[in-house]
DNA sequence: TTCGTTTCTTAACTTAGGTGAACGAATTAT
DNA sequence: ATAATTCGTTCACCTAAGTTAAGAAACGAA
């Protein structure tokens, strides 16, 4: 697990022995069981997550309905907006599978950043990259129909379609479970001819 | 104009005289006429923009149709994804109005960041903040209908509805101009009773 | 000013997504 | 193992968005 993290970090900066040790002395690895809720609506939090193995999901609870907006799998990072704005969370974060993750605290990050300026650089690069990626996802979402979105997902993240329940995928695609079911049947029909 | 920029920066870091001078010696202010295209599909670029006055817009050209995905107005910053990925741009950036902006080059930024570590901090904070904001916008988009999106926009950015042509607003809302027109009529009808 | 283009609206029709309900299949809890 | 829930699919019906087309209004360029 440590290697996965180091490997990820090496995409942004190169670490000395001392820096590696500083990271591992922080006790940031955590194992969480499927179904664990990491963050609830209304809670305040300073934690960011990086998924080493497994899958976590974010969702809103609107009129008793879960509206899933994102999934984070291996090598993906999530800093909930409430951590940045320092206001109570608008949504839930929960584990879809048994998950191993890195949980880092904002205060701890600040300390690391001031001690090792390299970390600041990594954080900047990472958030710039995530911002650009998310922009692309958003643009694709806006410019395509539910069916196109599903086909796009099938192409880009086939694993998600396997590991995530349909009704959660549906709201991730901005539609109802019934529509997703229908849409899938429609696609099947087409591909048969 | 210089004051607007300094005021914005002061939200993230505090500057010394020397640092201010360093910024202004870079010759980053630019005036652009309405209709000017700052970036074309297929072009490579290293420029980020910060709008001081006016409005710029990003759009894709798909089957001869412009699909507008974002607007940037006073005090908003745009770093096109292609600047991060260093690949040819997938979209266009153009000026909706006569606009005054700060154009900064990635190489120049890197130099400033290494000379003044404070800048690195500002860049990190800014992109973390933008990432969180964009996440919220994306989530709202996913969990609401076109009509709700329009009402939400009316509430959050009433200025946009005044200054942006309807057909561009429509694709920004993920619908056709006809649907937006109809939807507006529907809302009017309701509010009259 | 005038001509041409772009923009906005309206309408009729088509299509796809939302809703409510029902039912078996799969999962989970006891 | 069994009961209870959750999940996925299907259906019928409703509503809203897409499409095509046409005309009016606003805007820009010559």
Q: Which chain B residue lies closest to A82 (C-alpha atoms)?
A: B132
DSSP state at residue A45:
-
Provide the terminal-to-terminal Cα distance of chain A, rounded to the nearest Å.
47
Which of helix, strand or coil describes residue A14? coil
Instruction: Kindly state the DSSP code that residue A15 receives in the 8-state scheme.
Output: -
- Give the nucleotide with minimal C1' distance to the Cα of A184: D9
Answer whether residue B193 shows pLDDT above 50: no
A residues 105-164 near B, CB within 8 Å? 113, 117, 120-121, 123-124, 127-139, 141-143
Name the residue of chain A whose CA is nearest to B78's CA: A132
Residue with tokens 């509805």: B161
Encoded tokens for B148: 């709700």
Nearest-CA distance A42 → chain B (Å): 16
Q: Which of B104, B106, B115, B94 is nearest to B35 (CA)?
A: B94
pLDDT in tens, B113-136: 999 999 999 999 999 999 999 999
Residue A2 confidence (pLDDT): 85
Position B144 scores a pLDDT of 96
Contact yes or no for B94/B56 (Cβ under 8 A): yes
Nearest CB to B128 within list A67, A70, A79:
A79
Contact A139 B91 (CB under 8 A): yes
The two three-digit tokens of residue A152, written as one number: 């796009």
**What is the CA A48 to chain-centroid distance, rounded?**
10
This model's pTM is above 0.75: yes
Dihedral pair phi/psi, residue B182, rounded to 5°: -65, -45
Q: Which nucleotides of C are covered by protein (CB under 7 A)?
A: 7-12, 16-21
Residue A193 confidence (pLDDT): 46
Question: For the domain bounded by A2-118, which CATH number is listed?
Answer: 2.60.120.10
Is the CB of residue B33 inside 7 Å of nucleic acid strand C? Answer: no
Q: Is A117 exposed, middle or buried (0-12, 13-18, 19+ CB in 10 A)?
A: middle
Alpha helix (H) residue ranges in chain B? 2-9, 17-24, 81-85, 106-115, 117-142, 146-156, 158-163, 166-172, 177-192
Mean pLDDT, residues B48-74: 95
State residue B2's pLDDT score.
84
DSSP run (H or E) holding A60: strand A55-62
The closest of B5, B4, B175, B171 to B92, measured between CA atoms, is B171
Give residue B137's pLDDT.
Answer: 97
Q: Is the CB of A173 under 7 A from strand C?
A: no
How many residues make up chain A in this entry?
193
Give the end-to-end CA distance of chain B in Å, rounded to a whole number: 47
Tell me the nt nearest to B184, Cα to C1'.
C9
Domain residue limits, chain A: 2-118
Q: Which residues pair with B105 in a beta bridge?
A: B47
Chain B contact for A65 (CB, 8 A cutoff):
no
Contact pairs from chain A to chain B, CB under 8 Å? 104
- What whole-number distance in Å separates Cα of residue A133 and Cα of residue B59? 16
pLDDT tens per residue across all 193 residues of chain A: 888 999 999 999 999 999 999 999 998 999 999 999 999 999 999 999 999 999 999 999 998 899 999 999 999 999 999 999 999 999 999 999 999 999 999 999 999 999 999 999 999 999 999 999 999 999 999 999 999 999 999 999 999 999 999 999 999 999 999 999 999 999 998 776 4
Contact A141 B136 (CB under 8 A): no
Q: Which among B91, B120, B136 has CB closest to A121?
A: B120
Which residue stretches of chain A are H helix?
2-9, 17-24, 81-85, 106-115, 117-142, 146-156, 158-163, 166-172, 177-192
Cα A111 to chain centroid distance, Å, stands at: 24
Reported as a single tens digit per residue, the pLDDT across B49-59 is 999 999 999 99
The confidence score (pLDDT) of residue A192 equals 63
């Amino acid at each position: 697990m440590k290697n996965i993290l180091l490997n990820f970090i090496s995409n942004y900066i190169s670490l000395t022995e001392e820096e590696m040790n500083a990271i591992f002395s922080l006790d940031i690895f955590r194992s969480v069981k499927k179904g664990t809720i990491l963050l609830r609506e209304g809670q305040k939090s300073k934690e960011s997550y990086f998924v080493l193995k497994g899958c976590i999901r974010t969702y809103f609870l609107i009129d008793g309905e879960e509206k899933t907006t994102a999934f984070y799998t291996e090598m993906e990072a999530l800093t909930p907006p409430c951590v940045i704005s320092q206001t109570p969370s608008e949504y839930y974060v929960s584990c879809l599978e048994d998950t191993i993750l890195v949980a880092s605290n904002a205060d701890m990050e600040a300390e690391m950043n001031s001690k090792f300026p390299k970390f600041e650089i990594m954080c900047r690069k990472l958030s710039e990259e995530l911002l650009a990626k998310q922009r692309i996802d958003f643009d694709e979402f806006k410019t395509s129909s539910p069916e196109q979105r599903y086909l796009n997902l099938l192409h880009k993240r086939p694993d998600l379609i396997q590991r995530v329940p349909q009704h959660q995928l549906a709201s991730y695609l901005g539609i109802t479970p019934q529509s997703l079911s229908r849409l899938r049947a429609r696609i099947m029909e087409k591909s048969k001819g």
